[in-house]
Amino acid sequence: MYGFVHCALADLVLSKFGEDVWRSIIEKAGVELDGGSYLIHKIYDDEETLSLIAAACETLGLPLNDVLEAFGAHFLEYCVHLDMIAF
């Protein structure tokens, strides 16, 4: 999975819940970030993506469907904000 997806997830969590929650998700997922953040164009193992999503569900106390729906809505906004998609 491209780091862009992870960056969008980080942006969602940071904007809605703050840095402490994001750090907790990273820790629960067992992720070690080089330089403290994901690189947009780097390809990460899909297992890391799934671990992040599972950790987000656990940390936020939300079911998978709710987390994925929130992420999907935020992903579009994130892409538009970065001028990745134009309407």
**Residue-wise pLDDT tens digits, 14-38:** 999 999 999 999 999 999 887 778 9
Q: Name the helix (H) or strand (E) containing 50.
A: helix 46-60
Phi, psi (5° rounding) for residue 3?
Answer: -60, -20
**Residue-wise pLDDT tens digits, 34-66:** 777 898 899 999 999 999 999 999 999 999 999
Record the pTM: 0.87
How many angstroms separate the Cα of 40 from the Cα of each of 44, 50, 82? 10, 17, 12
